[in-house]
Structure 1
């Protein structure tokens, strides 16, 4: 059993080097860093045998980038059905032991998709709202209007392993066979809601997301502004409608993954 880590960089080359996580990961896991912008510099990976840098196919969406990485693992790295494929953001600081212990727990408990407890601060006092209920249209509307978000789960109330509707794509761990069975992320989303969608489809296949609160990481997120008429606002609105239509069976997932 091998663990593959998919990290998509949007000009995060300096941050990735500064944080040093990837260097530490390379001792235990196979890491694939995918640049989504040209002119990044990951040459310092050249002497690391377990790190692959994909430096083409720029300006793709979050889901498509991770599908490209997974397809690369199929075509070039020999990923097997019983391996694990973990999607994690470049601005996520996590200890390699957390990843190894999480996958060991997934293996022991036959879990196909899992999430961990993310914080916004090193002192672990401020939760990242990374686990939620599936949203409906009113949840989206209230969130956009700044009226709160009833879909957010209170992590203070969750002390043990817990089934959640969905977890943020900043960290999602999949059994490789399961990621393949889902055809990965729906590439019809460019940004936003693709994590909701894949968790929704997974639950429909009988594999809900398992949240492990005792495995933790630090998420240094800088959320893009979603003010009216911005690109991010457009992406978010279009993704919301795609998810709602998908739930109704009116839209089918798109994927470039070709299983072999």
Structure 2
């Protein structure tokens, strides 16, 4: 059910669970803790059958559950969740994310000041900084990443907010009006490159793609495409779709290197 029209959150969070209740339960409790600082609506989509996780609601924390009749993709799930969004900001988040109560506040502040999408500094469980802010992919860049055992970061970590080409989709905070204006995620992609595509569209719209290093989350990444041929096939197919898209080439020729990067301090 949609929340009451008399209750208005500041942030709507969309989380999709693929039978990941063990990961989802601690995240929901962490989001509930975070709601003491920002009123929050959480939309949980169960993409595979699993028990509903009991989490107590409050005046500042409401839960909506969507149960799919069959599994659908990343883009379609989050776009469906967005139809429930009544907040000025919309966050997509993986169930394997861990955060502190204050983690989301810098992202909301950034998305309010520079409308578009904002993403945090992402740490692996061992404390390493993940490459969640990247430059636009190309065949040459992908070959370099494949051949190197340890990939170099595309952007140096600093305390300054930076404009980046794209942000990884494990945690993205959108200004809801911008998400709506670019049409949400492109549902023709399947599991991969939706995050690249929407970031490039946001750049082309004149809005901002901001990396906020003082917002920190932990992500226990599941690199399925390295272990499963089906995921690898989806990954390659999504890359080919991206490289064939007009959005990709318009960004490469007209928006890449835009001087908005110098505007954030």
Give the TM bin, normalised by the shorter chain.
0.7 to 0.9
The answer to whether the aligner puts 1:86 opposite 2:86 as a matched pair is no
How do residues 139-154 of structure 1 correspond to structure 2 at under 5 angstroms?
A: 139-143=141-145, 145-147=146-148, 152-154=153-155
Query: With structure 2 as the length reference, what TM-score do the two structures score?
Result: 0.80
Query: With structure 1 as the length reference, what TM-score do the two structures score?
Result: 0.82
Greater Cα offset, 50-59 or 235-244: 50-59
Corresponding residue for residue 215 of structure 1: 215
Change (3 A) 1:149 1:36: same
How do residues 111-260 of structure 1 correspond to structure 2 at under 5 angstroms?
A: 111-121=115-125, 124=127, 126-143=128-145, 145-147=146-148, 152-156=153-157, 158-226=158-226, 230-246=229-245, 247-248=248-249
- For residues 149 and 248 of structure 1, what CA distance do their matches in structure 2 show? 28
Query: Conserved in 2, the CA contact under 8 Å of 1:139 and 1:151?
Result: no
Query: Conserved in 2, the CA contact under 8 Å of 1:199 and 1:209?
Result: yes
Structure 2: gaps (5+ residues): 1-8, 251-265
Structure 1: gaps (5+ residues): 74-78, 250-260
User: Shift of residue 25 of structure 1?
Assistant: 4.1
Task: Provide the secondary structure at the position in 1 that maps to 2:75.
Answer: helix
User: Shift of residue 57 of structure 1?
Assistant: 4.4
Change (3 A) 1:178 1:72: same
Task: Provide the secondary structure at the position in 2 that maps to 1:160.
Answer: coil
User: Shift of residue 41 of structure 1?
Assistant: 1.4
Query: Conserved in 2, the CA contact under 8 Å of 1:8 and 1:90?
Result: yes
- For residues 118 and 89 of structure 2, what CA distance do their matches in structure 1 show? 11
Match of 1:23 among 2, 9, 32: 32
User: Shift of residue 42 of structure 1?
Assistant: 1.7
Corresponding residue for residue 13 of structure 2: 5
Query: Conserved in 2, the CA contact under 8 Å of 1:167 and 1:196?
Result: yes
Corresponding residue for residue 52 of structure 2: 42
Corresponding residue for residue 254 of structure 1: none
Query: Conserved in 1, the CA contact under 8 Å of 2:225 and 2:235?
Result: no
Change (3 A) 1:204 1:57: farther
Task: Provide the secondary structure at the position in 2 that maps to 1:32.
Answer: strand
